[in-house]
C-alpha cells in the first residue's frame, strides 16, 4: 500500500500558486488572502472525502475521518503558512501527506479501529505576530483570550482583532482547547530544513527530540550626533555596543556552550539609519535554541551579562525583552519506536536525530504521544525560494506515514 504521489504533488502545485510573491518564493501568511485560498482548496478536498471539519477560534483546522468511532483519534498534519519569500515544502508537505493518507485508507476500504484526524495549525511560522506556533499554543491551552487581545503585529493590530476580521469565533478560545482524551497519538511529517539527512545519505529522519528556544528583543539607546564632529571618546554609539554583544554571543556559542546550542541574530534595526549620523537606537533579536534547556539558559545568562557590561562601557541604556519561548521536548518512545519499526520493515534508510527547528508537534507533547518523520532538504535549504525536497523522498516519507497511521488506526486483521 502506498500513497499516490502524483495526486499529492498536484495538490502541492495548486497551493504553491497561492502566494503574495509570485516568482520569489511562497509568501502565505495566516489570515491573508493566500491563506484563505489555500483553505478553500483544502476544504473542497476534505468535502470529497466526507470529513467532519471544524475550524477553531484561532483558525486551526481539524478534519476527522471515522467520526462514528468513539475513541481517541490519531492526528496527522502540519501547517500551511510560510515565512516571507519562503519555500514550497515547509509545512505543506506534512498537510498534503496527511490528506493523502486518509484518501488511500478510504480508497482501500480499510476498517478503522479509531478515527484519523487531519490537523492544520494556524500561524506556525510567527510571520504575523513574531510568535511561533501560535495555533498549537492556543489549541493546547498555553495562550488564552487575554493573550490574543494583547499580542499585536507591527501595525498594532491584535490577534483577536485579526481573527475576528476573518470571521473566526475567537471568543470560543477556551472551549476549543484540546483535551487529552481526544487524541491517542500525533505524527507530523516535515522536511528536515537542514542537511543532516543528506550528509548522512539517509532518506528518513526519526525525530527523538525537538529543540527548545527563546527569542529576545534587545534595545540599546545612545546619543545620536554628527558623524564628523563627535570625537570617538565622546560617543555613545548603540550600534557599536550591539555588534560587540552579537560577536560575543557567536564566539560563546562556538567555544563555551553545549555542542547542540545555536544562536542567531537575524533581525536588526538602526535609528535613524543614516550614513553620516551616529545611531540613536538599535534593536536586534536573539534566537537561542537547544535540545537541552541548560544550553539555552547558559546563553540567556551570557546575554544578560553582556547587555549590562556593554551598556555600562559605552554609556548606553540597555533593555532585554523575552518575546517567545518553548521548552525542548523528548518525543514519545512508543511512537518513535513504531516509526523506526515501520522504516525497518520498508527497508528505508533512516537515522534517529534531533530537530533544531521548533514544530507544532512539540506543543502537542503536552496532550498526547508524539512522533515526527523528517525527509531530506536538498543542500539543507529552507525558508527560502531554493527550498527543495525530491519527489522520491516525499513519497518515501508519505508511505512511511501511511504505514505508521495504519498500525495505529486500522484493525489489526487488515493487511
pLDDT of residue 103: 99
Q: How confident is the model at residue 324 (pLDDT cuts 50, 70, 90)?
A: confident
Residue identified by cell 510573491 is: 21
Give the chain's domains with CATH numbers: 5-209+329-409 (3.40.630.10), 212-326 (3.30.70.360)
pLDDT of residue 211: 93
> How far is the C-alpha of 173 from the C-alpha of 141, rounded, in Å?
9
Mean pLDDT of 334-360: 96
pLDDT for 414 beyond 60: no
Q: How confident is the model at residue 113 (pLDDT cuts 50, 70, 90)?
A: very high
Residue 112 DSSP code = B
pLDDT for 240 beyond 80: yes
* pLDDT tens-digit map of 361-387: 999 999 999 999 999 999 999 999 999
The residues with which 389 forms a beta bridge, in sequence order, are none
Residue identified by cell 518564493 is: 25
Query: Please, what is the average pLDDT of the chain?
Result: 96
* Cell numbers linked to 353: 536525530
Q: How confident is the model at residue 325 (pLDDT cuts 50, 70, 90)?
A: confident
Cα-flanking dihedrals φ and ψ of residue 385, to 5°?
-60, -25
Residue set of the binding site: 79, 90, 125, 190, 383
Mean pLDDT of 7-29: 98
pLDDT for 223 beyond 80: yes
Q: Please, which contacts does 249-254 make with residues 24 or more away whose CB atoms are closer than 8 Å? A: 249/286, 249/299, 249/302, 249/303, 249/306, 252/299, 252/302, 253/299
* pLDDT tens-digit map of 175-204: 999 999 999 999 999 999 999 999 999 999
What Å distances lie between residue 240 and 82, 140, 273, 275, 412, CA to CA? 33, 42, 13, 14, 65
What Å distances lie between residue 117 and 53, 164, 188, 314, 343, CA to CA? 9, 26, 12, 56, 22
Residue set of the binding site for Zn(2+): 79, 90, 125, 190, 383
* pLDDT tens-digit map of 55-73: 999 999 999 999 889 999 9
Mean pLDDT of 343-368: 95
* pLDDT tens-digit map of 259-305: 999 999 999 999 999 999 999 999 999 999 999 999 999 999 999 99
pLDDT for 413 beyond 80: no
Amino acid at each position: 500500500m502506498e500513497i499516490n504521489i502524483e495526486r499529492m504533488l498536484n495538490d502541492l502545485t495548486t497551493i504553491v500558486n497561492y502566494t503574495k510573491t509570485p516568482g520569489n518564493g511562497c509568501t502565505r501568511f495566516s489570515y491573508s488572502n493566500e491563506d484563505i485560498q489555500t483553505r478553500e482548496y483544502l476544504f473542497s478536498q476534505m468535502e470529497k472525502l466526507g470529513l467532519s471539519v471544524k475550524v477553531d477560534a484561532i483558525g486551526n483546522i481539524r478534519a476527522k475521518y471515522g467520526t462514528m468511532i468513539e475513541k481517541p483519534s490519531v492526528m496527522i498534519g502540519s501547517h500551511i503558512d510560510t515565512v516571507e519569500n519562503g519555500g514550497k515544502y515547509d509545512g505543506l508537505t506534512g498537510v498534503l501527506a496527511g490528506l493523502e493518507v486518509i484518501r488511500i485508507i478510504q480508497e482501500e476500504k480499510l476498517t478503522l479501529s479509531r478515527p484519523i484526524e487531519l490537523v492544520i495549525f494556524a500561524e506556525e511560522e510567527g510571520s504575523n505576530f513574531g510568535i511561533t506556533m501560535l495555533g498549537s499554543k492556543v489549541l493546547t491551552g498555553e495562550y488564552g483570550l487575554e493573550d490574543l487581545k494583547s499580542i499585536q503585529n507591527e501595525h498594532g493590530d491584535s490577534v483577536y482583532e485579526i481573527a475576528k476580521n476573518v470571521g473566526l469565533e475567537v471568543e470560543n478560545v477556551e472551549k476549543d482547547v484540546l483535551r487529552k482524551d481526544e487524541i491517542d497519538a500525533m505524527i507530523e511529517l516535515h522536511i528536515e530544513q537542514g542537511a543532516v539527512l543528506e550528509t548522512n545519505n539517509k532518506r528518513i529522519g526519526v525525530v527523538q527530540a525537538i529543540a527548545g528556544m527563546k527569542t529576545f528583543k534587545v534595545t540599546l539607546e545612545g546619543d545620536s550626533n554628527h558623524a564628523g564632529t563627535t570625537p570617538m571618546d565622546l560617543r555613545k554609539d548603540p550600534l557599536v555596543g550591539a555588534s560587540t554583544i552579537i560577536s560575543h554571543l557567536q564566539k560563546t556559542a562556538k567555544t563555551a556552550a553545549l555542542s547542540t546550542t545555536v544562536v542567531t541574530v537575524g533581525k536588526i534595526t538602526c535609528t535613524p539609519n543614516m550614513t553620516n549620523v551616529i545611531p540613536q537606537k538599535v534593536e536586534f533579536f536573539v534566537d537561542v535554541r537547544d535540545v537541552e534547556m541548560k544550553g539555552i539558559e547558559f546563553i540567556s545568562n551570557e546575554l544578560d551579562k553582556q547587555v549590562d557590561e556593554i551598556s555600562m562601557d559605552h554609556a548606553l541604556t540597555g533593555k532585554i525583552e523575552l518575546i517567545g519561548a518553548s521548552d525542548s521536548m523528548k518525543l514519545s518512545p512508543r511512537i518513535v519506536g513504531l516509526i523506526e519499526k515501520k522504516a525497518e520493515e520498508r527497508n528505508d534508510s533512516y537515522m534517529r536525530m534531533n530537530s533544531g527547528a521548533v514544530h507544532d508537534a512539540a506543543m502537542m507533547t503536552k496532550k498526547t504521544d508524539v512522533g515526527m518523520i523528517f525527509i531530506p532538504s536538498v543542500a539543507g535549504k529552507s525558508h527560502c525560494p531554493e527550498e527543495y525536497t525530491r519527489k522520491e523522498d516525499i513519497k518515501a516519507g508519505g508511505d512511511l506515514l501511511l504505514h505508521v497511521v495504519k498500525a495505529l488506526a486500522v484493525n489489526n486483521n487488515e493487511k
